[in-house]
Chain A
Amino acid sequence: MRIELEKRPGASRLFSLLSPVIAFALTVVFGAIMFLALGKDPLEALYQFFIWPLFDVWSLHELMIKAAPLIMIAVGLSVCYRSNIWNIGAEGQFTVGAIVGSIVPVYFYQWSSPLLLPIMLLMGIAGGALYAGIPALLKNYFNTNEILTSLMLVYVAQLFLDWLVRGPWRNPEGYNFPQTRDFVDAAMLPEMMASGRAHYGFALAILAALAVWFMMRFTLKGFEVNVIGQSQRAGRFAGFSSRRMVWFCFLLSGGLAGLAGISEISGALGYLQPQISPGYGFTAIIVAFLGRLNPLGAIVAGLVLALTYIGGEGVQFTMGVSDKVTRVFQGMLLFFVLSCDTLILYKVRVIFAGKSSEAPPGQPVEEKAS
């Protein structure tokens, strides 16, 4: 058996909409097989994982809380990946955004003012953007691979946070727990609805997605991103600077990751602790691809991936399945998304042994006709 690809004359519109759906369906099928292998009733497990959280007010709020950072980060990453710039250190930019955004409420812990929250959010954005600026700078001036540098900086940021909350920022009244002082109310993102704890971070995420979508769709900058992404040479001929594009993409995605970091702290947690993210920065990479590198797609994809977090907690609680299934589901989903994307540009033919490799008659004609 052999698989052959035949290039389509153009990208298939049908499959660019359908491929994420197929990918999700395949993930569910393989998820069922996995639950079966774990000795659990697959239907019950899938129901608990994907359906039940949608009919529970508490989980819907949790869904929005988890989706907010995923969407914010993925929107920025979509722009990066579209222009073929590989920032995979969003987890670190998230962490630094959380740290820098927390400077004011940690040092001036008694100060309460309506200005506090905007200051924190802006500092969070600045922190994330500056941290993302390091791989951008190194790429532009030293030709350093941004994949490796941005990733290495994740470990550095996490260790720095660990040092801060165990050392200089530790709450002196916190019974030696490694965490900072609780933030004052004015430093907290308010809840959106009376029914639960979902905070305005989700609204910020939607706003960010809309803004970036508008930029990509209607502005010259968005056009530039797409041209450089499709062909660096074409971009150069058009007079677009790929160096400026590296700066733009890293600062934008880093800023959004930083915003996600400080929103998570001021919305969901209320203080800094050694662990502030269940891998949002890496999961957002999946969100970006599942959303077809489109900011609006990232909203849907962010909700889907948030559901895997909630569902994972759910099956752990109700069925005693390890919460590690979350990560496995996420990994599988990315695999299937990437393999289904092949359908957009190629026709896939499975050829069974014995047949010749020549195309069946009629096939080439069909291609010319379209």
Chain B
Amino acid sequence: MIVEAILLTIITASTPLVLAAIGELVCERAGVLNLGVEGMMVMGAVGAFTAAHATGSPWIGMMAGMITGAVFSLLFGFLTLTLVANQVATGLALTILGQGLSAMIGEGLVGRPGVKMPSLDIPVLSDIPVIGPLLFDQDIFFYLSIAIVAGVSWFLFKTRRGLVLRSVGDNHASAHALGINVIGIRYLAVMFGGACAGLAGAQLSLVYTPQWSENMAAGRGWIALALVVFASWRPLGVLVGGYLFGAVTIGQLHAQAFGIAVPSQFLSALPYVVTVLVLVIISQNRRMTLINTPASLGKSFVPDR
């Protein structure tokens, strides 16, 4: 049963990574590099916690987290898409502002009891031994993360609109020449990324640790960014990578609990070190990364009039 308990915690730890990363993937597929994931996540977390705390409803909290993330991402969209500001610098600004704002908003909420999102027991299926409780007795965030990954995968590669979105990310000048509204599509993609990051933040403050603490994203937003590279911009890769990283995070926690004779700080550093190592291994294969990298990624676009 300990294996099952560990697997359960891995799922909880992986869900926010998957959510944030799939949103960023769509954003990057549209050619926009938003480094503000960490900031959008903490804003989503504090928005969700505040709303859930005020209303007592985790569902309203979840919606609030999602909306907070999406609205907050509009700041980034306005600067980079309308005012063509540098995407890297603006993303950093979003993170710095998000960390400050969330800490300020949440200051009075530290230590307050949170509202935990209940798990949704799917009848019959959850009675299956082992995988039942693992896959069919989870909170809504888990189901959502799977559904969004599947939906994004279908949207990007099976629909005309997905093709349009990818074309905007691969060659914005040609897409514009074809009459596609490049800026409009990028705005939508940025907001989708923001909503997903907000959901990921909501998961942190409603499920992972149902309370508020400053900087509770703790670098997960950056790991989500690395996950998109790891996945070489393919949705399924985000799912695999998210669970891999979730396992590393949980593995180090359990190792600490078992009192393994390595200083706890070294174990805590493990997810970051693993991220660097994985990035090295993935990026080394230049040909593979180049195939899927959106060609216009990070480049500003000013429509000629």
Contact = CB atoms under 8 A, between A and B. Distances in A.
Interface string A274-305: 00000000100110010000000000000000
Interface of B: 35, 75, 78-79, 82-86, 88-90, 92-94, 96-101, 103-104, 107, 219, 222, 225-226, 229, 263, 265-266, 268-269, 272-273, 275-276, 279-280, 283-284, 286, 289, 302, 305
B75 A152 contact: no
A145 B229 contact: yes
Nearest to A341: B85
Contact of A335 (B93, B279, B286): B93
A4 B92 CA distance: 25
A295 to B, nearest CB: 18
A255 B279 CA distance: 25
A310 B277 CA distance: 39
Nearest to B229: A145
Contacts of A86: 88
A143 B284 contact: yes
B276 A282 contact: no
B272 A167 contact: no
Given A152-B226, A160-B269, A324-B100, A5 B35 contact: no
A113 interface: no
Contacts of B88: 86, 147
8 contacts: A5-B83, A143-B286, A147-B88, A152-B272, A155-B219, A327-B99, A334-B92, A348-B83
A357 to B, nearest CB: 7
B92 A149 contact: no
Contact of A159 (B75, B101, B269): B269
Contact of B279 (A145, A163, A342): A145
Contact of B79 (A160, A328, A335, A359): A335
B222 A148 contact: yes
B275 A282 contact: no
Contacts of B289: 143
Given A155-B219, A327-B100, A338 B35 contact: no
Contact of B276 (A152, A324, A330, A331): A152
A88 B279 CA distance: 17
A339 B86 CA distance: 9
B202 to A, nearest CB: 21
A142 B263 contact: no
A332 B107 contact: no
B136 to A, nearest CB: 35
A149 B265 contact: no
A156 B100 contact: no
B97 A331 contact: yes
Contact of A339 (B85, B266, B276): B85
Contacts of B280: 138, 142, 144, 149
B305 A331 contact: no
Contacts of B279: 138, 144-145, 148-149
A338 B85 contact: yes
A335 B97 contact: yes
A167 B263 contact: yes
Contacts of A88: 92
Contacts of B98: 331
Contact of B265 (A142, A162, A322, A341): A162
Contact of A286 (B78, B96, B103, B276): B96
Interface in A334-353: 334-335, 338-339, 341-342, 346, 348
Contact of A327 (B35, B85, B94, B96): B96
Contacts of B97: 327-328, 331-332, 334-335
A184 interface: no
B105 to A, nearest CB: 9
B83 A339 contact: yes
A204 to B, nearest CB: 26
Given A148-B226, A149-B279, A346 B84 contact: yes
Contact of A334 (B93, B225, B272, B276): B93
Nearest to A162: B265
Given A282-B92, A338-B89, 20 more contacts: A5-B82, A5-B83, A5-B302, A138-B279, A148-B222, A148-B229, A149-B276, A152-B272, A156-B269, A160-B265, A163-B266, A282-B96, A325-B100, A325-B104, A327-B96, A330-B100, A331-B100, A334-B97, A335-B97, A339-B83
